[in-house]
Copies of this chain bind each other. A is one copy, B any other.
Amino acid sequence: MKRVTIYDVAKEAGVSLATVSRVINGLEIVREETRVKVETAIDKLGYKPNAIAQGLALQKTTTIALLVPEASFAYTGQIINGLIDVAKIYKYNIMLHTMTEGIVDIKDVIDDVIKSRVDGVIIYNDKLMEDELAELSKYHFPIVIIGNKMSDTQISSVYVDIEKAVYELTLSKLHEDKTRSIGVIQDRKNDFTTKQMINGVRRAYEEMGIDKDGYIEIPSEYRRSYDYFLDHIKEIPYDFMIANRDSQAISAMNAAHEVGLEIPKDLELVCLIDSKYNSMVRPRLSSFAIPAYDLGAVSMRVLTKMLNEDEVDDKEIELSYLYTPRQSTRN
C-alpha cells in the first residue's frame, strides 16, 4: 500500500482537501451526502491522517513526555499504568524517557523533549532537577511533578506527604511506649524520600522530647543492604525500622532471621511502598500503601487541565496513604 494522503482521498471522493479535513475532524458543516462520499473514499484507500502533519499545522502534538528514573521498578510501572490509562481517555500519546543515572545525560533528555514539541511533560524523579525544570520552563512546557510538592506558573505537582506518614507512625508507636526506638533505613537510590522519612521520625522524637537520631545509614562499602544488615543488625539501636522499598525491609527481615532475631518480637519492620511481595514474604510485611497508580492517573488529569484551561486552581495535590499492618509489626 502506497502512502495515501488527504489529497488522494479528496480526488477519490471528488471533493477538495478542505472538505476531507472537515470530515476527519468531525466538523458539522459537511453535508451528509458528501460526508459519506468522503468516508467511503477513506475506507477504500485505507487513509489514516498523518499526526505529524497535523502536529505541524496545529502546533500541538497530543503527545506528552514522561520522564522517569528507570522503568525497572514495580512502583514506577504502576505510575505509568495510571498515567497511560488517563492519557488514553484524553487521546494523548506518551513519549517515555528514562534517566538512568550514569548512562544517560539528563541534558540530552531535556533537549529531546524540547525538540519533540510535546504538549506537556510529567516528571517522576526523586531528585528535583532544578536546572532542567528551568530549561523546560523557558520553552513554556506545562509540567507536572510527581512526588515532590512544588508549583509555579507552569508547574503543578501531585505527591504523598511521606514525612507526615512516617511522623504519624512514629508518634503513635512512641505514644504506645516511650521507650520504643524507631529508625529509618537509608535508601541510597532515593535521597529525597529518605530525607522526608528521617524528618518525619525526628519531628516525632522532638515532639516527645526524646533525644534520638532515627537514621540508619548504610555505608557505601556495602553494595546490598542485606550484606550490611547481616553484619550489623544486632548493633543497630532501633527495634522498629522503616524502609522505603519492600526489598530493603525484606533484606533486613532475612538478615534478622539469619542472626537469630525474631520478627516482630525482637524487631519490627515496615516499608512505604506496597507491593504484592509484602504479602508474599513470611512474616507478611506491614507497609504503607502509597497510591502509585493514582499518582500517575491524577498527574495526567492535572496536566490535561493545564493544557485546556489557562488557570488551574489547585496546583499542589496531596494524595493520601494508607497504613496496612501485617505480621512484621506487633498488634
Contacts and interface: CB of A to CB of B under 8 A. Distances in A.
A52 B56 contact: yes
Contacts of A104: 88
A281 B63 CA distance: 41
A105 to B, nearest CB: 9
A84 B98 contact: yes
A139 interface: yes
Contacts of A117: 50-52
B1 A48 contact: no
Contacts of A81: 70-72, 98, 100
Interface residues of A, number: 55
Nearest to A93: B95
Contacts of A73: 74, 77
A280 B247 contact: yes
Interface stretch (A108-116, A213-221, A234-242, A263-271): A108-116
A128 B307 CA distance: 37
A116 B96 CA distance: 15
A85 B100 contact: yes
A100 B293 CA distance: 14
Interface stretch (A33-41, A183-191, A249-257): A249-257
Given A52-B61, A115-B50, A96 B72 contact: no
A71 B48 contact: no
The 4 closest A-B pairs by CB, nearest first: A71-B80, A96-B96, A72-B77, A51-B115
Given A52-B55, A95-B95, A277-B280, 18 more contacts: A1-B138, A1-B139, A51-B115, A52-B117, A56-B56, A70-B77, A71-B84, A72-B77, A72-B78, A72-B81, A73-B74, A80-B98, A84-B96, A84-B98, A93-B95, A93-B116, A96-B96, A254-B280
Interface of A: 1, 46, 48-53, 55-56, 61, 63, 66, 70-74, 76-78, 80-81, 84-85, 88, 93-98, 100, 103-104, 108, 111-112, 114-117, 138-140, 247, 250-251, 254, 257, 276-277, 280-282
7 contacts: A1-B138, A1-B139, A50-B117, A66-B96, A71-B81, A80-B98, A93-B112
